Amino acid sequence: MATDNRTDGQIERRQFLKRSLGVVAAASLPLPVSQALAASNGGGNLAPNVPEWTRSQGAPILSPAYGQPSRFEDGVVRTPTDLTPTTTSSWSFTPLQDLNGAITPNGLVFERHHGGVPDIDPEQHQLMLHGMVEKPMIFSMAEIKRFPQVSIKRFLECSGNTLTEWKQPTGKTVQDTHGLLSCCEWTGVRLSTLLRAAGVGDKAKWILAEGADAAAMTRSIPMEKALDDALVVYAQNGEALRPEQGYPLRLILPGFEGNTQIKWLRRLEVSDAPYMTREETSKYTDLMRDGSARQFTFVMEAKSVITFPSGGHTLPEKGFYEIRGLAWSGRGKITWVDVSTDGGRNWTQAELEGPVESKALTAFRLPWRWEGGSALLQSRAIDETGYVQPTRQALIKARGLKSVYHLNAIQTWEVSSDGGISNVHV
């Protein structure tokens, strides 16, 4: 099953279809045949006809044993970036425009790997905890799972999410512009529990977290964060972590940039200073206008985006549409989201889906009637610290145009009079 999980879900689905053809009736036949049947039905499956799937048995149980989305949802998949020279140190985007609510299905959680996805046998995976501790420890996966367990819903966002949008509108869809964003319920043990097992003194200020992947991905984490709300998790949305999310073990640092939340976690080393790894010096640092670079820019600041209607959607007719989107903050709870349909001139408070959880994606909704003219749709999040999601111009004024990471500006979707929706800057 571990190997199957590493392949695309569609492949498994196709294999299932191949296996079951000739055994299972019309429900799993390829689309053209279904359409042919429907056509011979004289008017198809719409009322007043009795649908074909009502007139025969459907597929049996275990079709397949691990359930897959309907074949009619085959287009809802992660998409790759075209910016990287390899596909192992690369990233793929979550299809936010096709999702509902605030939880990301496991197979659609965005990917950012630095050395590909390792195929780890959990029986041969260990977590080492050493450095400035009273007793260096080594834990098996079975032992980690015996510690007191916690489950929390938290967002995960790559610090490079939206990086193509600094200078001009580039992404066509919200998957392109904001798809390095996901939210899962994570289950594991508090990092503070493990640290207590090893004994950490007052001099300990940082922890090096290291992955077991081919990049041995490494970041230094402030001890304050480790003792606050950091988790070492082995499950997402109720099942074991997916290989591409760090199976069998990863770090979760709620609200911090994604790359710090080390996947395939194998080692934690306690220290009095940061290690200055390649990722936290030459890579995930934010270059300012004056040539200096901000380092250890961990927190993902408050941000929001409208996911429906959004780039690539087309409104088929005038009338009612519910504007829907997501808001999140690395500093805590979202308290307020406003929506504008005139490019930021006037704003209306949207409804938040409750209960709002800290550092989790929060769905917002606002009823809207499209009158057929052009509109500029925007959303603006405010978090519990009072921080207001800024405009792109304000961020550029403060930082310049070469910081790459942490673009949390207000996004604009233009609805044209033909109902088409595109990514624009205002």
Partner 1 sequence: MFTYKTIAFTVLASLVGAGTIMAQDEDYGLGREATTKEIAGWNIDVPPSGDGLPGGSGTVAEGKEVYQTQCQSCHGADGNSGPMDKLVGGKDTLTSDSPVKTVGSYWPYATTLYDYIHRAMPFNSPQSLSPDDTYAVTAYVLFLNGIVDEDTTLDADSLPDIRMPNRDGFVSPDPRPDVLANACMTDCGSDETTP
Q: Which of residues 252-271 bind partner 1 (CB under 8 A)?
A: 266-267, 269, 271
Binding residue (CB under 8 A) for partner 1 from 32, 148, 354, 355: 148
Does 121 contact partner 1 by CB under 8 A? Answer: no
C-alpha separations of 77 from 180, 241, 324, 326, 362 in Å? 13, 18, 20, 19, 22
Both tokens of 205, joined, read 């200020």
Interacting residues with partner 1 between 326 and 355 (CB under 8 A):
336, 338, 344-347
Does 151 contact partner 1 by CB under 8 A? Answer: no
Does 197 contact partner 1 by CB under 8 A? Answer: yes
Binding residue (CB under 8 A) for partner 1 from 177, 390, 411, 412: 390
Residue 242 and residue 236 in contact, taking contact as beta carbons nearer than 8 Å:
yes
Interacting residues with partner 1 between 391 and 420 (CB under 8 A):
391, 393-395, 397-399, 401-402, 406
Residue 405 and residue 284 in contact, taking contact as beta carbons nearer than 8 Å:
yes
Binding residue (CB under 8 A) for partner 1 from 42, 202, 273, 320: 273
Nearest-CA neighbor of 109 among 33, 186, 187? 186
Per CB under 8 A, the segment of 52-60, 90-98, 366-374, 385-393 that binds partner 1 is 385-393
Per CB under 8 A, the segment of 43-51, 99-107, 388-396, 413-421 that binds partner 1 is 388-396
- CA dihedral defined by 323, 328, 332, 337, rounded to 10 degrees? -30
Residue 142 and residue 126 in contact, taking contact as beta carbons nearer than 8 Å:
no
Per CB under 8 A, the segment of 169-177, 230-238, 298-306, 365-373 that binds partner 1 is 298-306
Binding residue (CB under 8 A) for partner 1 from 223, 382, 407, 421: 382
Contacts of residue 23, defined as CB under 8 A and 6 or more positions apart, other chains included, come to none
SS3 208: strand
Does 137 contact partner 1 by CB under 8 A? Answer: yes
Question: Closest approach of Cβ 210 to partner 1, in Å?
Answer: 7
Quote the CA–CA distance of 197 and 129 in Å, as a whole number: 10
Task: State the binding string over 276-295 for partner 1 (x if CB under 8 A, else -).
Answer: xxx--xx--x-xxxxxxxxx
Residue 48 and residue 41 in contact, taking contact as beta carbons nearer than 8 Å:
no
